[in-house]
Amino acid sequence: MAKKKKSGSQVIQGGINITGNVTIKGGKVAARDNVEKNVTNVQISFAPVYHALEENATVPPNVKKKVEADVKEIEKEVKKGEAAKVSFIQQRLENIEKMAPDIADVMITTLTNPAAGISLAVKKVLEKMQAQRAS
């Protein structure tokens, strides 16, 4: 344990007390709490959108491919954070809205509130399953 040091009327405890020759390669030494953050600007999971797209039986396969391409482009753009082009995202969302309104709903909800996007995707899948069972 490191020695206590007096600073005015305060006693400071902690730090590192290293004696002798020490070599540190490829690491770090922290005298107190070592807090590091490696957070991207945007941590939105698009999994609910891809899941909803995969489970949506009403969207033809060729349309699904186009919608998926737009979703991937939006995902890539959103990861740019503040540098993202809003008009680009809006245009892709409008395309998705025209081709697959249910997927657009999940996408908008996911972008607005990532946790709600998951529940909306599940809700839409369950609604479709219930409709199929009733038929």
Helix (H) or strand (E) holding 12: strand 10-12
Statement: the pTM of the whole predicted model exceeds 0.75 = no
**Helix extents (H) in 10-84:** 47-55, 61-78
Would 33 be classed as within a structural domain?
Answer: no
Would 51 be classed as within a structural domain?
Answer: yes
Instruction: Return the pLDDT at 69.
Output: 97
Instruction: Return the pLDDT at 131.
Output: 81
Instruction: Return the pLDDT at 101.
Output: 92
| Minimum mean pLDDT range among 2-6, 43-47, 51-55, 75-79 | 2-6
Instruction: Return the pLDDT at 13.
Output: 57
State which residues form the domain around 81: 47-134
Instruction: Return the pLDDT at 61.
Output: 93
Would 18 be classed as within a structural domain?
Answer: no
pLDDT digits (tens, 9 = 90+) for 24-46: 666 666 655 555 544 343 567 88
Residues sharing a CB contact under 8 Å with residue 16, sequence separation 6 or more, in sequence order: 2, 29, 31
Would 117 be classed as within a structural domain?
Answer: yes
Would 40 be classed as within a structural domain?
Answer: no
pLDDT digits (tens, 9 = 90+) for 100-126: 999 999 988 888 877 666 667 667 767
Would 37 be classed as within a structural domain?
Answer: no
| Total number of domains in the chain | 1
Would 15 be classed as within a structural domain?
Answer: no
Residues sharing a CB contact under 8 Å with residue 118, sequence separation 6 or more, in sequence order: 45, 47, 48, 110
Q: Apex CA 93: angle with CA 123 and CA 75, to 5°?
A: 85
Average pLDDT of every residue of the chain: 76
